[in-house]
Amino acid sequence: MSISRRDFLKIAGLSGLGIGFSATDLLWKRGRADAVEYMPSPKGLTAKRWAMVVDLRKFRTEEDYKRVIDACHRIHNVPDFGNPKDEVKWIWTETFEHAFPFQRNEYLPEGIQEKKALLFCNHCDNPPCVRVCPTKATFKRRDGIVAQDYHRCIGCRFCMAACPFGSRSFNWRDPRPFIKEMNPEFPTRTKGVVEKCNFCVERLAKGLKPACVVASNGGMIFGDLADPDSEVREILKTHYTLRRKAELGTRPSVFYIIGGEEDA
C-alpha cells in the first residue's frame, strides 16, 4: 500500500496536534488533586469596591496620628530604617500643601494650612501602578483593593514612578533587622521588592476591619463605595470631601474631610 505525500503530511499534522493536546492535559492536571475547590472564607468582609473616608478633624494631636501609624506598621512588620532615604512606609503624614497641592492657597484658614494629612495607598479605581507592572505582581482585586504579590515583584520600581501619591516604598536593604517587634502571623518583605498598604486584606478575610480604622477612634471610616447605604456613602452624601490629585484621573478610593463643623 502506498501513501501520497499529501496524505502523509495530513496524518503527521493531525498526530502532532493530538500529542500536543494530550501534553497540555497532563500539564494542566499537574499539582491538582481530584475534586478540589477553592472558596472565600464565609467570615470574611466583602464589597464591590472598598473605600475609606479620613476625617482629619478627628486627628488633633501628634498622638492621634502616631497611634494609627503604629497599629499598621506593627502588624505588617514594616521596618524603621531611621533615615528618610531608605524609608519604608505604608501610612504616613504629610503637610496639607504636599498632600493636596492644587487645593492650597495662601489664604486658607490657619488650622488647615498647618494641618497634617494622613496618607496611604489610595487603592485607585484606575491604578497606574497596575498598568505599568511588567510581571503583574501588582493587581486590582475584584473588591477594588490594589494588592501586590511580593513573590512576583522583580523590584523594577515602575510602579513607584507611576504612582502619583508616593504610596510605594522600595526595600533597598534587608528589612528584617529593622523591625522592632515581629508579628509572626504576617510575613516580612525582602530586599529588592516594593511594598505598600494592602487595605488589610488579611484582616478583611477574617472579618476584621483594617487596623488603622480600629485604632483611629472614628477618624477613619471604611466601607463599600458601591453600596449606596454604606457608612462611607452616607458620609460622602452629607460632607464635602476631597480626594488627592483627583484631576489625574486615577479615581482614588480614599476621601478626606478637611474642615468644617464637626457634626458627624
Partner 1 sequence: MYDAGKILIGLIIFLAFATYPFYSNMGKAVAKPEPKLDTPVIQKMEVKKCVESKEFMRAEHMQLLNQWRDAALRRGERLYKASDGRTIQISFQNQCLKCHSNKKKFCDECHSYAAVKPYCWDCHFAPKEAKR
* Residues found near partner 1 in the complex (CB under 8 A): 30-41, 44, 139, 141-143, 147, 149-151, 182, 184-191, 201, 205
CA distance 252 to 124: 4
Taking the complex as a whole, how short is the minimal distance between the CB of residue 190 and partner 1, in angstroms? Answer: 4
Residue listed under C-alpha cell 475534586:
35
Cell triple for 181: 517587634
CA distance 135 to 49: 24
Taking the complex as a whole, how short is the minimal distance between the CB of residue 201 and partner 1, in angstroms? Answer: 7
Hey, what amino acid is at 188? Answer: T
CA distance 14 to 168: 51
Nearer to partner 1, 6 or 142 (CB): 142
Nearer to partner 1, 145 or 215 (CB): 145
Taking the complex as a whole, how short is the minimal distance between the CB of residue 148 and partner 1, in angstroms? Answer: 9
CA distance 130 to 124: 10
CB 124 within 8 A of CB 243: no
Could you tell me which of 137, 167, 139, 140 has the C-alpha nearest to residue 155?
A: 137
